[in-house]
Amino acid sequence: MVILRSIVNACLAGAMLAGTPALAAEATRPNKVSFYFAAHEDDWQLFMNPSAFQDVIAGAAKTIFIHVTAGDAGLGIGSGGRKHPYYLARENGAEQAVRFMADAHHVPVSRAASSMSFNGHPIFRVSYRNTESYFLRVPDGNPAGSGYPHTGFQSLKRLADGDNDTLAAVDGTTAYHGWSDLVKTLRAIIDYEREQAGLVQLNIPELDPRINPEDHSDHLMTAKAAIEAARHLSCVRQVSFVDYASSRLPENLDLQQRDMESSVFAVTLAGVQALGHGTSWHHYDKSYVGRNYFRVQEPTGSCAGPATEFATRGAAQN
């Protein structure tokens, strides 16, 4: 009870409790691009919703989802005895969730999928209405960050710490040579997608252990990489979300917000099941749905226009 009270007090002191109306109002700004950095393909649905839904619905904002790991749980490109690889099932779940939000008031349209090069690395990208989804497909690092045997004990944490010299995508398409290589790649994606927008909203896992204790290593490393990648921008609103620790906090969404969150997560799981893999609806629904804790750090620099010259934009090609 003491631990729970301390977490709640920290969130009350430093975070907005599901302050989604404020974010939704800001999402109507035509010069805003909202980036959601997720370590795994169901993270933003569980921990960053209904904020993501409010950015996407009815084209409210250009919204970019960057999924850093393959979420493969140590299987690499393996299928775990099923017909399709697990990482592709998880990607399908994320894609279906994005389309569900984007099509909330529309008839579905065709997606556009391709491999694009950023900082010399080919990355799978899916365009759908006002959204872009990226899948870097580096190995899942497991909660402690030590990696898994089948994927050579590679992880974001080990790359950042220098224990791994390289971090290779599970599908063999590319390899990142050092932490700075990965950060520069994320920076190139941000520059490319930002275009001339004045405001960038960076949605990431909370790094403060007093607010978000005992989080997954991949979550924390994804947040660290995103912050470093956006450091060159002058107008960044940083929204930091409580992840696993939210399961120990009370539900704080109203019924409409909870419906938005739960529907997106349900579609995500349906997308995983469609490719033959099992899911854990009851566990995640009881632990995380109905909760949305975050804190907002408003921009300190000028928001009059883009902060950089987009020399790197030309480096991103189909």
pLDDT of 196: 83
pLDDT at 18 over 50: no
The β-bridge relationship of strands 112-118 and 121-128 is antiparallel
pLDDT at 10 over 90: no
Residue of 119 and 5 predicted with greater confidence: 119
pLDDT of 197: 87
- For 172, 230, 233, the CA distances from 199, given in Å and listed in that order, are 35, 12, 9
pLDDT of 301: 65
Q: Do 131 and 96 form a contact (C-beta atoms < 8 A)?
A: no
The β-bridge relationship of strands 166-168 and 175-177 is antiparallel
pLDDT in tens, 53-76: 999 998 889 999 999 999 999 999
The type of residue at 45 is Q
pLDDT of 234: 84
Burial label, 2 (beta-carbon count in 10 A; 0-12, 13-18, 19+): exposed
The model's pTM is 0.89
The β-bridge relationship of strands 199-205 and 236-241 is parallel
pLDDT band at 305 (very low <50, low <70, confident <90, very high): low
Residue of 285 and 100 predicted with greater confidence: 100
pLDDT at 232 over 60: yes
- For 134, 188, 250, the CA distances from 242, given in Å and listed in that order, are 22, 27, 13
pLDDT at 126 over 90: yes
pLDDT at 3 over 90: no
Task: Provide the CA 308 distance to its chain's centre, in angstroms.
Answer: 23
pLDDT of 161: 98
Task: Provide the CA 230 distance to its chain's centre, in angstroms.
Answer: 15
In the chain the first and final C-alpha atoms are separated, in Å, by 53
Q: What is the mean pLDDT of residues 204-233?
A: 97
Q: What is the mean pLDDT of residues 180-187?
A: 98
pLDDT band at 5 (very low <50, low <70, confident <90, very high): very low
Q: Which of 200, 247, 243 is nearest to 40 (CA)?
A: 243
d(CA 227, CA 203): 10
Residue of 20 and 226 predicted with greater confidence: 226
pLDDT of 198: 84
d(CA 122, CA 222): 19
pLDDT band at 6 (very low <50, low <70, confident <90, very high): very low
Give the rounded percent of residues in the chain with a pLDDT score beyond 90: 79
Q: What is the mean pLDDT of residues 249-256?
A: 97
Rg for the chain (alpha carbons), in Å? 18
pLDDT band at 8 (very low <50, low <70, confident <90, very high): very low
DSSP output for 212-244: STT--HHHHHHHHHHHHHTTT-SSEEEEEE--G
